[in-house]
Amino acid sequence: MTADHTIYQPYRFNRLAKAAQLRASSAAHAELDEHQSDVSDLLLADMPQIMAAINRFTVMFNAWNDHGRQVFDMAEPMQALAGTQVAAPAQIPDDGYPEAFYVHFGLTAGLKTKAGDFIDGALVILSSHSGKSSLHCAFVCGSDASGITDDASLARILRTQGRLAFAAAPLADLSAITLSQTVGDPMVSSDEVMSEAVTRLLLALSYLAEPMPKAQISNHETIFKPF
């Protein structure tokens, strides 16, 4: 039996992208019904913002796809941190990372947003410009509700795809990671949970670098390795 990789957001994003293309194609050949028109009208004001976020993520998704679709599933160790205050690692290595990878937190990581979904993970891309290397990431959302159904409107699909928050940091100083205020869903980037989500990503990076260091969590004695 083939494994269902749609528990990982980049695979869901790809499925949503295909669904959006089908809805757009159908809309071009038929009139939208009254319900779909109402929903679409509500999106007109923030459609440019949503599409800008989706387009940026698509570029990152393509880079991830081209570099082998690497996924680091850290749901189990992140679950151990749910409901606790976690300190960011004091030192984060600046090398040893793949060019593109996805870090999965999962529902049980406890990173709930005010909107009712949760920060599911982060897609990470490394880049270099003018001799300076940087890390770019997109925090993605998941939901414990049922996924997009076959009759979902184009508006709903795009809004689901657009639940993104972007961040970047110089590779030489990953602790200086900063959330973007210009691209992404402002309801996600301004959510209080993002501070903890950023810390979780930094913690994940401290594990993924080679040589892989041990990291002590806050003031607890527990030391874990996800792999």
Helical axes 34-43 vs 154-161, angle rounded to 10°: 30
User: What Å distances lie between residue 2 and 6, 10, 101, 227, CA to CA?
Assistant: 12, 17, 22, 22
Provide the pLDDT for residue 225: 41
Provide the pLDDT for residue 101: 93
Provide the pLDDT for residue 213: 43
CA dihedral 47, 48, 50, 55 (to 10 degrees): 130
Euclidean distance between CA atoms 227 and 225, whole angstroms = 6
CB 43 within 8 A of CB 50: yes
Euclidean distance between CA atoms 185 and 145, whole angstroms = 20
Provide the pLDDT for residue 160: 84
pLDDT tens by residue, the chain, 227 residues: 345 677 888 888 877 777 766 666 665 545 545 444 444 544 567 888 988 999 999 999 999 999 989 999 999 989 999 988 888 888 888 888 889 999 999 999 999 999 999 999 999 999 998 888 999 999 999 976 545 555 667 777 788 888 999 999 999 999 999 999 999 999 999 999 999 999 999 999 988 875 554 444 444 333 334 44
Provide the pLDDT for residue 150: 57
Provide the pLDDT for residue 95: 82
Provide the pLDDT for residue 194: 97
Provide the pLDDT for residue 149: 56
Provide the pLDDT for residue 112: 96
